[in-house]
Amino acid sequence: MQVHLETFLAMNTRLSVLAPGADAVSGARLARRVRAVAAAQERRMSRFRADAELAGLNACAFERPVRVSATLWRILTACGEHWRRTRGAFDVAWQAAADVGQSGFSRVRLNPDERSVRFASPEVRLDLGGIGKGVALKAVETALRRMGMTSGLVSFGESSILALGAMPNGADWVIGLAEAGDLVNTGGSGLSLRDACLSTSGTGQGAAPTVDPRTGEVASPERLVSVVCRCPVEAEVVSTALLARPAERDWILQQYQPIRAIEFALDRRGGFLERRVAWSHG
């Protein structure tokens, strides 16, 4: 069977598309489409690119209400919704919580009549790092399905992995931890996926830290949370929230049913590091 694999930079990480059954020409066409979708998402959600819509919003929204595109409006209202559902554990405005005890997104004013955003204090900045890949992956999924792809795997920086359909032999896609020496360590035989997304949050090498917006504490680098659910956005939101605020685990999981989640702890045994399952759900 021909299989096309293509990897490129997107949103400050790498995006890989694995397309079983695709020859070089059709595979490249799929990859081109994914590149275009990801690039469009980056132009909207980056806080680093001067020409990105979010960067412009961050620069001006304390001074005056900023009208945003319909797409960014949908993303920001979704962020507000997830902020409420997770009791603030997921907070794209976490930098505003430098004052411990303050909730970041509570200082973001969304005006649906004008589709505008305003920050209530000058230190507020929006960072879509905890949801952006999920949003982009959802757009990628839509694009690939429109192009007729029914089986494939898309990895967005390895922290967000979308499984389209099943593998060509009809079995589920099975994904384990990249660092684990043995798949048993990832909870048996890895996490099986079919039309689902796996999101993994942790503070691994080079990864941005995950911060509890309420306390400002950085999540321990020895923790790793993987979440599987149908929606790429929800998978990323929940893994971020669970890592940021473990005490709210039961509440958060209850809000996003049906969902599977595993937390891996890092054990130090006899000088060796080993992942073990700290808890699992679903």
DSSP state of 46: -
12 or 102: whose CB is closer to other proteins? Answer: 12
Please state the closest distance from residue 277 (CB atom) to other proteins, in A. Answer: 13
Name the residue nearer to other proteins (CB basis): 117 or 243: 243
Binding mask 118-157 for other proteins (x = CB under 8 A): ---------------x-------------------x-x-x
Q: Is 50 in the site for other proteins (CB under 8 A)?
A: no
Amino acid at 109: R
CB-CB contact of 52 with 42 (8 Å): yes
According to CB under 8 A, which one of 36, 40, 208, 218 is a site residue for other proteins? 208
Helix ranges (DSSP H) in 118-168: 132-146
3-state secondary structure of 21: coil
Least gap, CB of 21 to other proteins (angstroms):
9
> Least distance in Å: CB of 128 to other proteins?
13
State how far Cα 35 lies from the chain centre.
18
User: Residue 86, interface with other proteins (CB under 8 A)?
Assistant: no
Q: Does 41 bind other proteins (CB under 8 A)?
A: no
Q: Does 20 bind other proteins (CB under 8 A)?
A: yes
Strand partners, 193: 173
Residue 275 touches other proteins, criterion: CB under 8 A:
no
Binding of other proteins by 14 (CB under 8 A): yes
CB of 15 to other proteins, least distance (A): 9
CB atoms near residue 72 (< 10 Å): 21
Distances (CA, A) of 195 to 25, 125, 160, 218, 224: 25, 34, 13, 32, 23
Radius of gyration of the CA atoms of the chain, in A: 19
Cβ nearer to other proteins, comparing 9 with 36? 9
User: Between 163 and 202, how does the x/- string for binding to other proteins read (CB under 8 A)?
Assistant: ----xxx-x-xxxxxxxx--x--x--xxx------x-xxx
Minimal distance, residue 110 CB to other proteins, in Å: 27
- Return the range that interacts with other proteins (CB under 8 A); candidates 14-22, 67-75, 76-84, 104-112: 14-22
Q: Is 242 in the site for other proteins (CB under 8 A)?
A: no
Please state, in angstroms and rounded to a whole number, the distance separating the CA atoms of residues 85 and 225.
Answer: 18
- Determine if 25 is a binding residue for other proteins (CB under 8 A): no
Q: Is 246 in the site for other proteins (CB under 8 A)?
A: no
Token pair of 38 as six digits: 């990801």
Closest to 124 measured CA to CA, from 102, 95, 144 = 95
Cα separation, 139 vs 116, whole angstroms: 23
Half-sphere exposure of 248 (CA within 13 A, CB side): 22
Distance CA 163, CA 7 (A): 16
**Would you tell me which residues interact with other proteins (CB under 8 A)?**
1-3, 5-9, 12-14, 16, 18, 20, 133, 153, 155, 157-161, 167-169, 171, 173-180, 183, 186, 189-191, 198, 200-208, 224, 226
